[in-house]
Structures are given as C-alpha cells and as structure tokens.
Amino acid sequence: MRILSIAIISLLLFSCSDNQQKKQTAIEQKEIQQEPIQKEQIKEEVIELPEPNQNNIEYAQLDSTISEDIKNLDKTFISTPFYVNLKGRNFYIICTGKYNYKIERFNGTLKYGLANDSLTVLLEPEYDKIYNPNLTIEDCFEIERNSKIGLVNYRTGDILQPQFDCILPSSNEPNEIAYGLKDGQWFKIQNSEISLPVEIAFDPIPILRTLSFNIKNVGENMMFDSYWEYYEDDANEGRGVVLIPSYVSYLGLLDRDYTDIILPDQEGRIDFGTKEVRLSTSYKRSLSDKLVAFLVSAYESGIGARGYHREAKQLVVHNEATNSLYTTHLATLSESDYFCGEANYRFVNDSIIEVKVNSREYRNRAQRYEFETNFIYHKIEEDGSIKELKSIRYYDFTKFILIDESNFKGCFAWRISNASYSDEHNMWVADHLSIEDLDIMRNEIFAEYGYKFKSEKWQKYFSKQPWYTPKYDDVNDMLTEIDKANVKFILKIKEQMERNEDSFRNKRPTKYVAAG
C-alpha cells in the first residue's frame, strides 16, 4: 500500500505540471522537426558502450546522463526497461509495472510508452509493445496494442494508432515509406505524415522475394537493457535488445524477441546470450495465377551451457487476389542433429511440398530405427492456406504422392547390440530401407482399408496397431489410383533388392556420441 500511495502522489504531482510540460513538448517537437535527417547504411557497426564494472548498485553501469534520466522516469512510471541512442539523442521505453526480462512481458500484462531525453512523454504507456526504431520505416518506432500495429514518429511526435496486421518496409533498407496490411488491403505510409495512410494497390512480392533481416545490421537502432549489470565471477547475459519487426512476427519467421544479444564489446566475457540471428528468402515458386510461395530460412546461434545453433525453414504463401499471407513451419535442424541429420525440401507439384528430414524434432512416434529419415507433406489449398497431411500409415507418403526411389533412401541407424559409447563402433547405419520395411509399407496400404490377412505374421503385426480393424477378404476396389501405383512400385524395388539387399542398404558400423 505504501508503494501504491507513493506512486499515486507522484502521478498527481506530475499532472500538476502538465500544462507547462505541453508547452515544453511543443518547443522540443519543433526543434526535432528542424533537425536535418541524415541517411546512412549501417552494417555490423561496433557499438561503443561504457566499460561495465562489477557493481551491485542499481544504474551503476549507465553513464551519468542516462542514469539520471532513468531514475527520474522510474519515479513516475515504475520502470524504464530499455533505452536507445539515435544520433546523439536518447529515447526511453517506459513501463507501468516492474519489467522482468526473464519473463519478457509483452502479453498485455504491462503497458509501455516512449519518452525522450528531455523527459517529454511522446507516447503514453498504453501499449503492449514498443519495437526497435527504424527497422520498418525511418524515424519511427512500431507500436502494438491488441495485436494490431501502429507507429510513432520520434522526431515529430506524430502517432498512427495501432490498426494494421503488420507493417512491411518498402525495401530491405527501411526508408521513408512503408506499407500496412489491414483487412486484406494495403496502405502506403510516409514517415512525414504517418497519421494519414493511403489505401493503394500494392504487390508485396518484390519485397518478399528478397526478404532478409539480420540483427548484425540493426546498428544504432539496437536497444539496451537499462538494468543490466556485469558480475565478474558470475554468469552474465548479453545486454542488446531487438524486438523483431512486426512483419517478421506476423509471418512467423522468428518465434521470439531477443533481449540477450551479445554486443561486440561483450565478446569473450559473456556466458549466455544470442550471437547471431538472420533470415532470408531462399526459394520462390509461382503456384497459380494468384498464388506465390516462398521458403524462408531463419538461422540463430548463441551460447548457453554450451554453444548452440539452429536453422529453421518456413513456407510463406501469398494470395494476390485477397492479399492474404499464410505461413507454416517446415523443419528445424540444430547442433544436436549432427548425426544422421538432414533437411531437404521440394515441391511435388503446385499444391504439395515435401519435407525430407531426419531430426529429433520429429520423434513424436515410436520409430523403427533410432535415427530415421521422415517425410512430411504440406498441402497448399486454392486460397493459399496450408495444412499438414497425415494418415494412420507409418509410411504415410504412400497415401499422398506417387513415390519414387528417393522415398526409400535416407539415413537409418540403430544400436549395435551390447555396444557402449566407449566402443569404437556403437551404431549400425544404412542408406536405404530394408526388404522388411518395404513389406510393411506395402501391406499397411491394404490394412488401412480393413483387409483380413491370411498369414499369421501380418495378422500379429497389424493386430498391435490401434487403428486396424480386419473386415474384408478383398479391398482392391477400395484402393486409390495412387495406392495401386505405389503397391506396384514397392514390389518392383523389392524384386531388385532381393538379388542383393546389401548393395542397396550399404550397412556399416559407425560411432554416435550424444551431445551433452
């Protein structure tokens, strides 16, 4: 109650000086508008920060000017979690509650605003998130409320209230123009008059086909943790902060913000944090007269208990007729997938994309091998929406596509009996499915339709499958054309393998050591 009373009194005192503050704000905004705008391209800029010292005193790692500003802001707004320096001027993200970077409270629990180094409030703390400046459009911070995006121009104080699904930069180097997506329509936004967006006919394909983002290029627009402290004999995290632009989040290209980026001057003395994040369009395909698909790669690396890296692939589909954007995650590979790890992608046709992957991420079922190549299929509907194809079959690709030899090849590994990690070889690995695998693949096609097997072997095998119900002596009339073609192809490959199965499989001993 005492803390609440102090906060209320502070707010009353603050409101008393409101008229004087407004006059001062108008003067400052006029001065800001008169400042020349210098356009420059920043690439992997080394950000100079004060040398951190071991110190348990709050604000001790900040220079005196920033420290005093944050102390004063904290008296009114509880906390000031981030700050950024833009061409000699400091801007502060203010917050109505106690921000905790370990929780990353951008879920509506806390509200955020913006103040400058004159302690003028440019944006009242009424928003769910304030993004890094200049990553979508020059001279502006993106702002978010109720999952909608707007802008605030930190030079003019002009505000575009949140109303867009996302805001897309007009090029990979953000400039004075950006485009907002709202209710399937695009609006042109100019930073000189952000509050007056204009509805236009806009094609985002040229931007999407060259889409890229890299935290190393954030440069001057990097925000910093206001309360970060350095401890010489304790674990320390990076202090750089990048709240990923709205279009990156909207497309699902990165799944989190980064409040632990290791800055250039922190290399070698930080124990946890993100070192690199980058994304780029790696493939484009026209699917119809209105649908265009993109594969976007997202790479991340950093340090934790040990170094880590991972690369994810997303599928993005744009419907030109409705201006709709659809995305789905395809696969992720990390350092733990070094053994037997692969991820390949191909369009089977204009509606189905195939993901061939061997990753621990896809171990959501009992596998025949300890490491095993999997095939995942996604179907792109006529409107551009995407769904993953699934069936009860173990080798479910036999249901979706006309298979070829690539569906039998991959990485298949299992433990050598009684071998340990200290042995020279502890795993068998093969490059091709076995004849036994092909028999299961063929017979489960019939089993799905309820075929009553005559042999005891297959009766016993399929009786263990929860989906199997024996009903019919003949199911040939129930098979699809894809089923029939695939049964013939499986028998053809089996016949070839029976002459020399070893030459197909290339079975050999190897060594596997789990990462840890």
Distances from the Cα of 214 to the Cαs of 211, 231, 280, 284, in angstroms? Answer: 11, 29, 9, 20
Is the model's pLDDT at 385 over the cut of 80?
yes
Comparing 35-44, 346-355, 470-479, the range with the smallest average pLDDT is 35-44
pLDDT 10s digits, 286-299: 999 999 999 999 99
Is the model's pLDDT at 60 over the cut of 80?
no
Contact status, residue 180 vs residue 167, Cβ threshold 8 Å: yes
Q: Which residues contact 301 (CB under 8 A, 6 or more apart)?
A: 274, 275, 276, 307, 308, 309, 310
The side-by-side arrangement of strands in the sheet containing 166-169 is 166-169, 177-182, 185-190, 198-200
Alpha-carbon distance of 299 to 301, in angstroms, equals: 7
The side-by-side arrangement of strands in the sheet containing 342-347 is 342-347, 352-358, 374-380, 386-389
What pLDDT does 420 receive? 82
Higher pLDDT, 280 or 360: 280
What pLDDT does 359 receive? 62
What pLDDT does 423 receive? 87
Is the model's pLDDT at 51 over the cut of 70?
no
Alpha-carbon distance of 420 to 433, in angstroms, equals: 25
What pLDDT does 64 receive? 85
* Mean pLDDT for the stretch of residues 32-60: 43
Pick from 471, 37, 476: nearest CA to 462: 471
Pick from 177, 153, 150, 178: nearest CA to 164: 150
Strands 79-86 and 223-225: antiparallel
Q: Which amino acid is at 167?
A: I
* Mean pLDDT for the stretch of residues 404-409: 96
Is the model's pLDDT at 300 over the cut of 70?
yes
The dihedral sign for the CA sequence 287, 244, 218, 177: positive
Alpha-carbon distance of 111 to 329, in angstroms, equals: 30
Contact status, residue 142 vs residue 127, Cβ threshold 8 Å: no
What pLDDT does 19 receive? 43
Is the model's pLDDT at 36 over the cut of 50?
no
Tokens (6 digits) for 296: 């976007």
User: Where residue 230 falls among pLDDT bands split at 50, 70, 90?
Assistant: low
User: Where residue 23 falls among pLDDT bands split at 50, 70, 90?
Assistant: very low
* Mean pLDDT for the stretch of residues 217-239: 83
Is the model's pLDDT at 123 over the cut of 50?
yes
What percentage of residues in the chain have a pLDDT greater than 70? 86
* Mean pLDDT for the stretch of residues 161-180: 95
What pLDDT does 38 receive? 34
What percentage of residues in the chain have a pLDDT greater than 90? 67
**Mean pLDDT, the chain, integer:** 86
Contact status, residue 378 vs residue 387, Cβ threshold 8 Å: yes
What pLDDT does 99 receive? 85
What pLDDT does 41 receive? 40
Strands 273-286 and 291-303: antiparallel
Q: Which amino acid is at 135?
A: L
Contact status, residue 139 vs residue 174, Cβ threshold 8 Å: no
Instruction: Report the interhelical angle of 2-16 vs 64-77 (nearest 10°).
Output: 110
User: Where residue 304 falls among pLDDT bands split at 50, 70, 90?
Assistant: confident
pLDDT 10s digits, 147-164: 999 999 999 999 999 999
User: Where residue 102 falls among pLDDT bands split at 50, 70, 90?
Assistant: confident
What pLDDT does 237 receive? 82
Comparing 17-31, 72-86, 182-196, 436-450, the range with the smallest average pLDDT is 17-31
Instruction: Please name every residue paired with 160 in a beta bridge, in sequence order, or none if there are none.
Output: 151
Comparing 174-183, 271-280, 483-492, the range with the smallest average pLDDT is 271-280
Alpha-carbon distance of 280 to 298, in angstroms, equals: 7
What pLDDT does 367 receive? 84
Alpha-carbon distance of 258 to 273, in angstroms, equals: 9
* Mean pLDDT for the stretch of residues 196-221: 92
**3-state SS string over 220-272?**
HHCEEECCCCECCCCCCECCEEECCCHHHHHCCCCCCCEEEECCHHHCCCCCE
What pLDDT does 358 receive? 83
Q: Rg (Cα) of the chain, in Å, rounded? A: 29
Is the model's pLDDT at 27 over the cut of 70?
no
* Mean pLDDT for the stretch of residues 170-197: 95
What pLDDT does 340 receive? 84
Contact status, residue 216 vs residue 181, Cβ threshold 8 Å: no
- Termini Cα distance of the chain: 48
**SS3 assignment, position 77:** helix
User: Where residue 365 falls among pLDDT bands split at 50, 70, 90?
Assistant: low
* Mean pLDDT for the stretch of residues 494-511: 96
